[in-house]
Structures are given as C-alpha cells and as structure tokens.
Amino acid sequence: MKRFTIYSTVAIMFLLSGCMLPNEQRVENQVPYADQMASVQAAVDQFQEATGVLPIKTFDESTNLYQRYVIDFRQLIPTYMQDAPGSSFENGGVYQYVLVNVEEEPEVKVIDVRIMNEINTLTQRINEYRREHTYAPIKESLDYDLFTLDFEALGYKEEPYIDSPYNQTRLPLLYTNSGDIMIDYRVDLIELQSEMDGSFATETDLRSYLYEEAPFVPVFSVPYTYSEDNGIQYDTKFYENE
C-alpha cells in the first residue's frame, strides 16, 4: 500500500512556519474565479500541445492523489500566461492549482491551503500523545487502515472539523496506520447522492463525483465506493492503485 504523504506541498511550508499568507485578506485572493481558472486551463493546454508534457512540479509516488499534479507556474510564465492568478498561493492567494484526469483530459482544479491549519494542529497533538504513550488514541476502526480518534484524549473539548468546500457541512477528520490525517467526505457524497436523478456507479472511486461540477478537489481523502446493498462505503483497497 502506498502511503498518503501530507507534508508534500508548498502549502505546508507556510503553515509550519506559522506565517500568514501575503495579502490573505484581499477578496480577490480568496476566490478561485472562473476566469482565472479558465486562463490557467488555456495555458496548460497550450503548454501540453507545444511540449507534449504537463507543466507540473515533480512529486513522489506516495504523494496524496489530489496533490500529485501541482501546476508549476514557472513553466507557464511568461510564454503562456503573464502571471500566476491572484488567487494562487504563488501570487499571495489561498489556492494551490492542480490537475486531475491527467492521463485523459487534464483539468485545472484547486486546493484551499487554509484547511491545513486544523490538520497541522491535530497532527502536532497526535505526535505529542504518541511521544508519551507510544501509540495514537484510536477510538474506532472504520475500514482497513482507517480509524476515528479519541479527541478527548488529545485535549479537545469539541471534535475538530473541516468546513466542506462543496456544501454547508462540516467534515470529520480520520486517521490511518501510516500516521496521516484524512478528511471524511462521506457527508458530501450523501448530500450529492440525494440531489442526483440516478445512483452512483458501482466499482468506481466516488471522489471524482465531488469535483465534476466544482473547482475543488477532495484533498486528503480516502476512496469511497457505492453498492446497492451497502450504499456509500469507505474502500481503502483503492490505495493500492494510487
């Protein structure tokens, strides 16, 4: 099984340094505007047509699937675009621009790097707990290599959540044997299913449904599958294919 690596993006560098993003309060830096994403998409398409490759940063095979294809704006500027979009991390914004569907039709999406604040805090608390107890405070096993945490043992008065980029919901945080924090998007998938005319496809990783009509990828996520008998389920066997 390939491990999901959390600390693999430029977003982590800013979080671990404890620094605020430059110009973070500027409204134009907090929204991945459609025209900005379209301009990046056009630049990526032109670059690939001209060079035969994608303008992405190098990555390790263990990198989280949705952080694996981070756009390298240095390869696009100035030939294919004048500057990185204002909403991009590289230009003082809060979004990291990435690609999905790279083998078929590369499509530009974004990651909100601010979600790392809660994940970074939780990771630090778990590391402190493990230094004292040698093990993590596991509460319940959900699937192979996937667990809930005892947040009370970690000193939380209330369970921490991540605000969903897809709905007005709050998403729980899970834990793996590898020591990685994962965001549980199952609530979003249930919400999406209730809005669909039909059902999810079976034997398919459902995460792609989340970003089909949205600019955000389900970063730090586990795979999910659907069956008529069991509904939406965690399915970490998909790790083997990532």
Answer yes or no: do 95 and 127 share one domain: no
Tell me how crowded residue 137 is: count the other CB atoms within 10 A of its CB: 18
- Domain end point (choices 113, 139, 158): 113
Residues 80 and 14 both lie in one domain: yes
Q: Are residues 36 and 140 in the same domain?
A: no
pLDDT of 197 reads 82
What domain range is 15 assigned to?
10-113
- The per-residue pLDDT for range 150-169, each reduced to its tens digit, is 999 999 999 999 999 999 99
Residues across the chain: 242
Q: What is the per-residue pLDDT for 169?
A: 93
pLDDT value, residue 214: 94
In angstroms, the first-to-last Cα distance of the chain is 9
| Cβ-based neighbour number of residue 190 at 10 Å | 13
The pTM assigned to this predicted structure is 0.84
State which of 113, 129, 148 marks the end of a domain. 113
Q: Is 188 part of a structural domain of the chain?
A: yes
Residue 10 pLDDT greater than 70, yes or no: no
Same-domain status, 86 and 191: no
Give the model's confidence band at 31: pLDDT under 50 very low, under 70 low, under 90 confident, else very high.
Answer: low
Q: Is the pLDDT of residue 1 over 50?
A: no
Q: Are 37 and 122 in contact (CB under 8 A)?
A: no
Residue 162's nearest CA partner among 117, 195, 206 is 117
pLDDT at 18 over 70: no
Task: Say whether both 105 and 176 belong to one domain.
Answer: no
Give the per-residue pLDDT at 156: 95
Lowest-confidence segment of 23-32, 84-93, 108-117, 218-227 by average pLDDT = 23-32
Domain boundary among 65, 90, 113: 113
- Shared domain check, 52 and 169: no
Please tell me the distance from the alpha carbon of residue 220 to that of residue 218, in angstroms, as a whole number.
7
Single-letter residue type at 84:
A
Is 3 part of any domain?
no
The per-residue pLDDT of the chain, averaged, comes to 86
Is 208 domain-assigned?
yes
Same domain, 159 and 236: yes
Model confidence pLDDT, tens digit, residues 97-136? 999 999 999 999 999 999 988 899 999 999 999 999 999 9
**Euclidean distance between CA atoms 30 and 19, whole angstroms:** 17
Give the pLDDT mean for 163-191: 95
132 with 231, same domain? yes
